[in-house]
Amino acid sequence: MRRALLILLVFVFTYGAMAMACTSIMVGKAASVDGSTMVTHTCDGSYDARIQIIPGGVHAEGETVSIYKGLCQAGIPGRTVTYVGEIPQAPVTYTYFHIGYPFMNEHQIIMGETTWSGKREIRNAQGWMTIEQLQVLALQRAKTAREAIQIMGELAEKYGYGDGGEGLTIIDGEEAWLFEIGGPGPFWSPGSEEPGAVWVAQRIPDDHVLVHANRSRIGEIDLENTDYFMASSNVISLAVELNLWDPNSGEPFRFYEAYCNKTAFYNTRREWRVLDLLAPSLELDPWAERYPLSVKPDHLVSVEELMMIKRDHYEGTEFDLTQGLAAGPFGNPNRYATAANQRPAGVNYDGWERAISMFRCSYVIVGQARSWMPPAIGGVVWFGEDAPHSTVFIPFYAGITSVPPSFSQGARDYFDRTSAWWAFNHVSNLADLRYDVAIKIIQTEASKFEKEFLANQPSIEKAALVLYEDNPALAIDFLTTYSNNAANRVVDRWWKLADELIYTLNDGYVNGSTAGYPTWWLEAVGYGDTTRR
């Protein structure tokens, strides 16, 4: 009877489309060039790209905090944010950076996100918590990555997790953790004594790197090793109850096999690409179904290298999206979605290679946490609006008190010239007119800013540290002014760049001169066939 009810409920529950599109990389402190822990996130899809700095505070006993579903898509046309209820507020909350998926707090906890959805058997729409709501609460309440994981796990277990399976890559100045969470299955209901979520967390070694690309990555777990593992009490028992793992099978329990056993190259190819770029000596097979959770890179990893990887389209490999007929005559790596009724027989959504850099990205981050500095200075997120390949990474420090209005406001349901997101999206779309020419112009302009910001980083932080010793508030004002000026300069340049690209690429010309098509493409498409007898 119970089994029959499970099958029925699995088919009865309906869910909105999952955002199975983000890529996150994590770097341990001993694997980076400067001793910082690092994390990245591409927020691929239509998500809130406005940065809000939400101040922390002291709260009275009995105060509550509102819980919502759909926070990540606030302000997106056709999407709604739904109020769920109230839970007790923490006595003290910390300042954090709110966006589609909140990414940093004043204690330099920094998070990346990637959706893995999971098997239908574990889903339960009655749970209050979504991943972005858990991120909000953790960033408001935690001082370390471990504490953030414990807070999210406890809240999800108590109030229920009603989202698809998710992974968070979480760093502080010392440690780097992967947190994976799914629903409790269809039998859980609010008020139940059973956990309202199933979750696991694994720390990567300090000298390792990790990539997460829309599928669960944590396999075998050792809960006695508390330095490297944490989990909900039902992490194994739920899999047994829902017939997702047989303890008599002779196979060890693996979290990903029980709750999300994906092997599509939509996921695996990105894992291979990141690991192959950082540890080519491993000679990993691009067609393998599974890769190590984390690996030791062949060299120490820098912020600049992570920026480069976030812009990747498999250039120089057999999967290079800038090559072939699908890239058109001008090497465009962007592949738009194909409606199901238009796909050739036997081809699913995996028909195109899935790159790391996506045209439909809302924003991208590369975050650094450095324990030897005050968190206000040691934490920095290099933030880019829209697609990684056509954006500029701008430094926003953990202690700053504001961002420019163009980054905190703006509409997505019309072309809003007050919005930084539209400046970058506009340039990115113009680049599609003649990608091979436009991307070189864009990369040149982006490189000027990024090289300047990276070169200035040591002196800016040195000045901030001197100020901080005598007057932390002055250091905060200094960094706020610096980050805001940098951001405003970039956005002003990107609006001008859009106007320049319109001239440069006007009517199929390049700077007013005939550019034409490459010979190989003309031959491939039958150039001249209709004009010859």
In whole angstroms, what is the distance from residue 476 CA to residue 59 CA? Answer: 24
* Number of domains present in the structure of the chain: 2
Q: How far is CA 346 from the centre of its chain?
A: 30
| pLDDT in the model for residue 342 | 86
pLDDT digits (tens, 9 = 90+) for 468-518: 999 999 999 999 999 999 999 999 999 999 999 999 999 999 999 998 899
pLDDT digits (tens, 9 = 90+) for 250-290: 999 999 999 999 999 999 999 999 999 999 999 999 999 99
**350 domain residue, yes or no:** no
Residue 400: domain span: 373-504
Of the candidate ranges 2-11, 425-434, 515-524, the one whose mean pLDDT is the lowest: 2-11
Distances (CA, A) of 477 to 204, 457, 464, 474: 35, 16, 9, 5
Of the candidate ranges 146-160, 197-211, 398-412, 509-523, the one whose mean pLDDT is the lowest: 509-523
- 379 plus 482 within the same structural domain: yes
**522 domain residue, yes or no:** no
pLDDT digits (tens, 9 = 90+) for 428-437: 999 999 999 9
Crossing angle of the two packed helices 265-278 and 303-310, in degrees rounded to 10: 150
Going by pLDDT thresholds of 50, 70 and 90, the confidence category of residue 345 is confident
Going by pLDDT thresholds of 50, 70 and 90, the confidence category of residue 20 is low
| pLDDT in the model for residue 4 | 40
The residue-averaged pLDDT of 344-363 equals: 88
In whole angstroms, what is the distance from residue 416 CA to residue 373 CA? Answer: 38
- 54 plus 202 within the same structural domain: yes
Q: Which amino acid is at 18?
A: M
- 250 plus 169 within the same structural domain: yes
By DSSP bridging, strand 209-212 and strand 294-295 are antiparallel
pLDDT digits (tens, 9 = 90+) for 213-257: 999 999 999 999 999 999 999 999 999 999 999 999 999 999 999
Determine which helix (DSSP H) or strand (DSSP E) holds 509, and give its type and residue range: strand 509-510
In whole angstroms, what is the distance from residue 182 CA to residue 180 CA? Answer: 7
**347 domain residue, yes or no:** no
**What mean pLDDT, rounded, does the chain reach?**
94
| pLDDT in the model for residue 351 | 81
Both tokens of 269, joined, read: 């190819």
**521 domain residue, yes or no:** no
pTM over 0.85: yes
pLDDT digits (tens, 9 = 90+) for 152-169: 999 999 999 999 999 999
Q: Which amino acid is at 151?
A: I
**477 domain residue, yes or no:** yes
Name 24's bridge partners.
212
Going by pLDDT thresholds of 50, 70 and 90, the confidence category of residue 349 is low
**23 domain residue, yes or no:** yes
- 303 plus 387 within the same structural domain: no
| pLDDT in the model for residue 343 | 85
Both tokens of 18, joined, read: 């999952």
- Is the pLDDT at 13 greater than 60? The verdict is no
pLDDT digits (tens, 9 = 90+) for 34-50: 999 999 999 999 999 99
- Is the pLDDT at 108 greater than 80? The verdict is yes
In whole angstroms, what is the distance from residue 494 CA to residue 438 CA? Answer: 13
- Is the pLDDT at 130 greater than 80? The verdict is yes
The residue-averaged pLDDT of 378-392 equals: 98
Please write down the long-range contacts of 346-354, taking CB distance under 8 Å and 24 or more positions apart: 349/266, 350/264, 350/265, 350/266, 352/326, 353/265, 353/269, 353/314, 353/319, 353/321, 354/265, 354/266, 354/267, 354/269, 354/270
- Phi and psi at 461, nearest 5°, equal -70, -35
Q: Which amino acid is at 297?
A: P
Going by pLDDT thresholds of 50, 70 and 90, the confidence category of residue 8 is very low
| pLDDT in the model for residue 337 | 83
Going by pLDDT thresholds of 50, 70 and 90, the confidence category of residue 350 is low
**357 domain residue, yes or no:** no
| pLDDT in the model for residue 71 | 94
Q: Is the separation of the CB atoms in 114 and 271 below 8 Å? A: no
Q: What is the largest CA-CA distance in the chain?
A: 88
- 383 plus 304 within the same structural domain: no
The residue-averaged pLDDT of 48-76 equals: 97
- 264 plus 389 within the same structural domain: no
Examine the fold and report which residue of 312, 330, 361 is the final residue of a domain before the chain moves on: 312
State the sign of the Cα–Cα–Cα–Cα dihedral 461, 467, 469, 475.
negative
- 307 plus 381 within the same structural domain: no
Q: Is the separation of the CB atoms in 235 and 221 below 8 Å? A: yes
Q: List the alpha helices (DSSP H) in 59-199.
A: 131-141, 145-159
- 59 plus 184 within the same structural domain: yes
- 300 plus 396 within the same structural domain: no
Distances (CA, A) of 3 to 7, 162, 242, 479: 6, 21, 8, 58
| pLDDT in the model for residue 36 | 98
- 298 plus 381 within the same structural domain: no
- 138 plus 222 within the same structural domain: yes
- 301 plus 387 within the same structural domain: no
Examine the fold and report which residue of 268, 289, 312 is the final residue of a domain before the chain moves on: 312
**365 domain residue, yes or no:** no
